[in-house]
Each structure stands twice: as structure tokens, then as C-alpha cells.
Amino acid sequence: MNQRRKIVLIASVAAILMIAVGMNRYYDADRQLDRGWTGLVESIESRSAFGVNRLLAPDYTDCWGYDKDSLGKDLWRIFYPFESIGLTPHEVLVAREGDMATISAKFTMVSTGSGLGADAQNQVNRLTEPFVIQWRRDSSFPWSWKITRIDQPEFDAKRYQRRRSASPLGF
């Protein structure tokens, strides 16, 4: 084999090994979970109903009575009073076992907006218990970690539920 072919062969093998190592790191379960967690916080901060909804598992439930469909329909309304949202997670605890994980965290919230947005900020900042978010990984893709449940016993979400009108005309 001539010298040039050896160099090309060695460079090709080295490139393949580097790609394999990079892919292994990219698909690491802990890294994927961290990306999902970061994506959740960023979606809330950007007030993206679609961003949050895409992280919810089909069997999502929470302590406020939402499922994936009902929360997906209400997220736009939940984000509406806010002009901006800033979340700072603290006391974050991550427990992962195989394809299941739980992340608990307290949040400090800074927001601008009106009405219920200011009330929600005050309520979040006074919570003493953390939000507990349960995740499940359905496949090996980076976007495969989905939220199956959120719990926070102190947060009163009933304050922000849609007011249903008794009138059939919606008045």
C-alpha cells in the first residue's frame, strides 16, 4: 500500500472513531435529560405553549387535573398575561434510574405583565415545597424524554382556570 493510501485510511478511521465517540456523548441519557429540562425552562421563559406541549407525554397528568390535551389547549391562555418570564431554578435534585427520572426544583420567578401574571409570580416565589417533575424516556433520541407528571401541592392553579360562562352565547 502506498503512503498516500495509508494516510487516507488512518484519517478515515480516526474520523469514524471521533464521530462514534461524539454520537455516544450526544445520545447519553443524562445529557438528553438535561437538554429536556433546559428546554422546559426555556419554553416557559419564552412563553411557548408549543415548546412546553411537545415535552409532555401522551399520558401526562398533574396535581391540578390537567392532561396533555387540556393543558395543551390552555397553555396559550396561561402565558397570555405575561410580557416576559424569567425563571431561576434552585435546590435542583435529579434522580434517574434507567428510563425514568424525577427532577425536583424550587423556582424564583421574575416577570412583567398584568393581572394574573403578577399574582402567579408572587405565588411561585412564596412556595416552600419544590415542583416535582417526572420524566420518561421512550427511545434513544435526544428529544425522547417526556414529562409524565408535575406535582406541587402548594401552588393553587384554580386561581387561573378559565372562567366558564353560564350563557350559551359566552357572555
pLDDT digits (tens, 9 = 90+) for 122-161: 999 999 999 999 999 987 665 689 999 999 999 988 776 6
Q: Return the percentage of the chain with pLDDT > 70, whole number.
A: 78
> Residue 166's pLDDT band (boundaries 50, 70, 90)?
very low
Architecture of domain 29-166: Roll (3.10)
For the chain, the domains span: 29-166
pLDDT score, position 171: 39
- The stretch 38-60 carries a mean pLDDT of 95
> pTM for this one?
0.76
- List alpha helices for the chain, DSSP H: 3-26, 29-45, 49-53, 68-79, 116-126
Average pLDDT, the chain: 83
The bridge status of strand 100-113 relative to strand 82-97 is antiparallel
More confident call, 87 vs 119: 87
Distance CA 93, CA 90 (A): 9
pLDDT score, position 125: 95
> Residue 118's pLDDT band (boundaries 50, 70, 90)?
confident
